Amino acid sequence: MLSRWIWGITLRDKSCLFGAFAASIGFYLILSMAPFMAVVIGSTFHFFHIDLTLPAITILKDMLPPESRDNATGMVSAVSRIVEGSTLTVTLIFALVTTHSFMHALVRALRYIFSTEQFLPKTTLTSTLISMALVVLWALVFAFFAIFILISPSIEVLLQDLDLFSESALWLWSLSKYFATFFFVWLAIHLTYQLTDANRHPLNLRLQSSLLASVAWLGLGYAFSHIIPALWSASMLHGTLGGLIALLIWAHATAWVLLLGACLVVRRFNG
């Protein structure tokens, strides 16, 4: 009775697979992060001569749990060495395999949630193309977000030169950076729901659910930044072991945010 009230009639029988979906998505998310960044940083530098190394470190430190942030600089530095060296081709192949696996797991789960069928959708050419399109879209969103962070210091210097409006302008700019972070997160999630739903549900439901999922994603980041470290310090899990466990929990929770956002679309549509 409780499961029917939570999931509704359509999702009640499907919900037994959601845990496995979240575990698979979280695993491939962790596995694909470094090679994905290598390809984005390398491609941006190759085609536009823009170095996104420092913005990538900033994004990782804002995204990852505190226990894992010490590894962010080392991870991105290793990525930069790969980009500058001759191993980019191997990294590109590995990035394509891991990021496609992540997107394939996500697309398969979301298509299953959005569909009216009770059986898992088969891997088809359409689902493969959707996964590849989402890899490209997420890479573009990440690149634009990194470029925004890269030019932010220059904009702040320009605003500081406006003596008459320096305080108010800087305050508005600081506020706009939070809105920009929310926008880029929302854009990636909404495009993911848009492509996997295939217009089975109204656009306004996808918009609302992607907005809520974005708020939950950022709230999850806040929880890992402020709440969990306070609890973590009271435990015996510190250092590398604590960072690994925190990263696994973060990835698993992030996967659940993406899945529950899609569930909300179906639940509200069916009543």
**Alpha carbon distance 191, 184 (integer Å):** 11
Tell me phi and psi for residue 123, to 5 degrees: -75, 115
pLDDT at 102: 92
Counting every residue, how long is the chain? 271
pLDDT at 1: 45
All residues at 6 or more sequence positions from 78 whose CB lies less than 8 Å from its CB, including other chains: 34
Query: What DSSP designation does 16 have?
Result: G
- Which pair of structure tokens corresponds to residue 163? 């003596």
pTM above 0.75, yes or no: yes
pLDDT tens digits, the chain, 271 residues: what are they?
Answer: 445 556 667 788 888 899 999 999 999 988 888 777 777 877 777 777 777 777 777 776 666 655 555 555 665 566 555 555 555 566 667 777 888 899 999 999 999 999 888 788 888 888 889 999 998 899 889 888 888 877 877 777 776 666 655 666 667 777 888 888 899 999 999 999 999 997 788 999 999 999 999 999 988 877 776 655 555 554 545 555 566 777 788 889 999 999 999 999 998 887 6
End-to-end alpha carbon distance in the chain:
16
All residues at 6 or more sequence positions from 241 whose CB lies less than 8 Å from its CB, including other chains: none
Residue 36 belongs to domain spanning: 2-270
The number of distinct structural domains making up the chain is 1
Closest CA to 223 of 248, 187, 243, 253: 253
pLDDT at 256: 95
Closest CA to 43 of 83, 79, 94: 83
Tell me phi and psi for residue 233, to 5 degrees: -65, -20
